[in-house]
Structure 1
């Protein structure tokens, strides 16, 4: 459901994608990332709710696209942890999963910012926790319904607030694209849990989101530089060192372990994302510590649609 919903909304999400750079691809990136998660689950036979999300998270992480796609992939992987072994979802488990996701997503970014998908995820986690706490650990389906509804409507309020939290969004008169994408994913989760349809009025009134609104991203000045993404196997110490170096070379640095299982050398696979002036700047630093895979390089401008994948 989330895959199809994001496909339907990708054009409008792209149109309001102006932060951290106006490259008009948030909708596309979220769709491709969730599609990878969906395909991973379809090709497996998970044993329980947590295992399903773990498989989805790993599939999403290995093919994650863009800032928002990477943070969504990190969140899915994190949500799996409290759910491992669970045969069904409950209010307490959902609240715990969303709490774990928001902690992991905030820590994955070197410079997390309010007014983004992170704020919306944090609000969803708090909304779920607040609703669940009032139910005193009730594990009934009704309690689960109240918990997921609490998460969705807290996220909706947080999306509306993003317009006033970041100057670029305020000046353009739009809400954050990644935040809207997360809200759509959460409503898909709500619909699946409750056996209902998506809420048709969920996005009503969000600035810049009417069909007739202009494509703000295409009206913004072109951005210089590129987005580099890859997967690389490193020890935690080496990963910390690479993160520090990339922080000095560019911005929007995201690094998160794909799994919690180390190889015999103590290395973990990490998904890496960074914006840099040129690909060579990042690739030189990356190659100095390991051999990357799933490498993609994308121009940070809405006027360039062609990406390079697996270039190394």
Structure 2
């Protein structure tokens, strides 16, 4: 069997559609019954980014198309599951580099390489996850490819069934899955992707039941859009294009465009340079670009006529002020933090964070989101604060591909991120800064209060849908029908002998008077603790708690 470009796109589209059709089902496989299951969403956005890259590709060779798939998934990767999926595609591309025919033996080789790459991407691989499903599927493919049958479709069908059996066995390998009575969400997502590809090769490509495949990838930029005056728009044309070129001088091209406007992003490699700029002279930008090669996917929007398409007013003002204060000179340090909620975002800006990426649970920023923020900061050394365990891998991936000196501080919560920033000393050298920030996140105890989206049993505790849930790190320590009592019990579980302060960030669904009442009760019970309440404005979580 030979696969041409149109068939390759059809196969990838079928995989995208199959995953999108089951996205919410994959999201619901979250071990904890909290409203932040996002594995299906993250994997969907990652593979959609891969599909868009392939559709833009000028290649026809199967190996090169697989490479484009890997590159697209890399830039669109969101959350740990998305990053692992991007590495799976990277392995598929490496295994497909010299692929000539689509035979069982070659498919087995490709799947094996994909599995090896995902394991290499994870520092401490956990069995019973997407890693296991990918590996056991590849191992079966290798065994089965040695049999006499050469029917590729029969072979792929048997491999898919082996993958499904591996998925069904994940609860036996990971006790937390068995207790929650779910299979691994990432593994389930991978099976839907493989199933979609198989059905397309059979001529039964999956059609979207959601219509979602036609939508643009969502932006992580906006938290609360506001009507803006055209007077606030310094550069009126949002200009985007791609250059097909043999030039590798991305930095030179970027420097040439800098005087033309702001919000500049130039990324490239392997014959393609992607460009985004806000400018008053789009024609001049295109003139510079055409000197390097052929242009494609040109898009120019007049932002004065399309208010909803521009960046937030405060982001524009911030970028303009940076240009005025330090148009040429780099500063020593820059910071990028992920945050959800206006109050939390403002706190990060007040403590010297240059770029706040709107995101968190249910809305994990992509690798490209980090890359854009890194590019926007004129600093010699940049630190990334993911503030969520599910975002760390995307941040690390961005740091790896960035040409700048970028370090990831592995903050898993917003309170940890704030503590890290408060530990920053601009007089220190880069190594000392990283060491101090990393140490600071280890001295903070973090908790959160949300609600259960389904009935479940965890550690013999029966939690009902709608119950309030208190989480200390990754453990459910309190739950019940009373928000205040659930929160107080969480803080009892988090408190320790030398603790001196508890900080509570209340969310968008909490009335300030309720937060004040909670503070009063905590001060009465914990006489040795200073209690501070701060409006965080975060969705989904009623309270975020920090104890130090």
> Greater strand share, 1 or 2?
2
Aligned to 2:169, the other structure's residue is in SS state helix
Q: What is the correspondence of 1:1-312 to structure 2 with a 5 Å cutoff? A: 1-18=14-31, 23-135=36-148, 142=151, 144-196=152-204, 230=367, 254=393, 276-278=412-414, 280=417, 304=539
Confirm or deny: 8 A CA contact 1:123 1:158 kept in the other structure: yes
Structure 2: distance between partners of 1:274 and 1:229: 16
Alpha-carbon spacing, 1:163–1:108, altered in 2? closer, same or farther (3 Å): same
What are structure 1's unaligned runs of at least 5 residues? 199-224, 233-245, 290-298, 307-312
3-state SS of paired residue (1:276): coil
Provide the secondary structure at the position in 1 that maps to 2:99.
coil
Instruction: Tell me the TM-score normalized by structure 1.
Output: 0.65
User: When you count helix as a share of all residues, which structure comes out higher?
Assistant: 1
Q: Deviations over 1:29-55 (max 9, x none)?
A: 111111000000001122311111110
Q: Quote the Cα distance in structure 1 between the aligned partners of 2:120 and 2:168.
A: 24
Bigger Rg, which one = 2
Q: Whole-Å Cα distance in 1 between the matches of residues 409 and 63 of structure 2? A: 26
Q: Distance in 1 between matches of 2:157 and 2:19?
A: 20
Gaps of 5+ in 2: 1-13, 207-359, 372-384, 422-429, 432-447, 454-538, 542-548
- Measure the CA separation in 2 of the matches of 1:24 and 1:182: 16
Contact 1:10 1:28 in 2 (8 A): yes
Q: Secondary structure at the match of 1:107?
A: helix
Contact 2:125 2:131 in 1 (8 A): yes
Question: Shift in Å at residue 186 of structure 1?
Answer: 0.9
1:29-85 CA-partner distances (Å, limit 9, x unpaired): 111111000000001122311111110111001110111111111111111112224
CA drift of 1:114 comes to 0.5
How well do the aligned residues superpose, as a CA RMSD in angstroms?
Answer: 4.1
* 1:46 aligned counterpart, secondary structure: coil
In structure 1, the residue matched to 2:11 is none
Q: Does the CA contact (< 8 Å) of 1:61 and 1:70 recur in 2? A: yes
Q: Whole-Å Cα distance in 1 between the matches of residues 167 and 540 of structure 2?
A: 27
Greater RCO (CA < 8 Å, at least 6 residues apart): 1
- Give distance in 2, aligned partners of 1:106 and 1:22: 29
Q: Normalising by structure 2, report the TM-score.
A: 0.39
